[in-house]
Copies of this chain bind each other. A is one copy, B any other.
Amino acid sequence: MTTPSTPSTPQVPRVTIKDVAARAGVSKGAVSLAFNHKPGLSDATRDRIFAAARELGWAPNLTARSLAGQRVDVVGLAICRPAKLLGLEPFYMEFVSGVESVLSERSCSLLLRLVRNPEEEVGLQDAWWRGKQVGGSILVDFRADDPRVAAVRRLGMPVVAVGHPSLTGGLTSVWTDDATAVTEAVRYLAALGHRRIARVGGAAALGHTSIRTAAFDEAAGALALAGTWQVATDFSGEAGARATRSLLSASGGDRPTAIVYDNDIMAVAGLSVAAEMGLSVPGDVSLLAWDDSQLCRLTHPTLSAMSHDVHGFGAEVARTLFGVIMGDGGESHPVPTPVLTPRGSTARPSR
User: Residues of A with Cβ closer than 8 Å to B?
Assistant: 1-2, 4, 6, 8-15, 19, 23, 35-37, 43-44, 46-48, 50-51, 53-57, 59-61, 73-74, 76, 83-84, 86-88, 90, 92-94, 96-98, 100-101, 103-104, 108-116, 123-124, 126-128, 130-133, 237, 265, 268, 271-272, 275, 294-295, 297-300, 310-311
Q: Which of A83, A111, A112 has the most CB of B within 10 A?
A: A83
Q: Is the CB of A44 within 8 A of B1?
A: yes
CA distance A128 to B111 in the complex (A): 12
Kindly list chain B residues whose C-beta atoms are within 8 Å of the C-beta of A100.
83, 86, 112-114
**A109 lies within 8 A of B113 (CB):** yes
**Among A100, A124, A128, A132: residue with most chain B CB under 10 A:** A100
- Is the Cβ of A109 less than 8 Å from the Cβ of B109? no
Partner of A98, one of B23, B83, B101, B265: B83
Complex-state Cα separation, A47 to B156, whole angstroms? 13
- Rounded to whole Å, the gap between the CB of A156 and the closest CB of chain B is 12
Closest to A24 in B: B2
Complex alpha-carbon distance, A130 and B57, angstroms:
11
**Contact between A87 and B83 (Cβ–Cβ < 8 Å)?**
no
CA gap between A300 and B126 in the complex, in Å: 48
Q: CB distance B86 to A298 under 8 Å?
A: no
Candidate in A4, A9, A294 with the most chain B CB atoms within 10 angstroms: A294
Give CA–CA (A51, B130) in the complex, Å. 9
B23, B53, B110: the one contacting A111 at CB < 8 Å is B110
Chain B residues with CB under 8 Å of A83's CB are 97-98, 100-101, 104, 311
Besides A8-B55, A83-B98, 8 other A-B contacts (C-beta < 8 A)? A2-B44, A14-B15, A37-B124, A90-B93, A101-B114, A104-B113, A108-B113, A109-B124
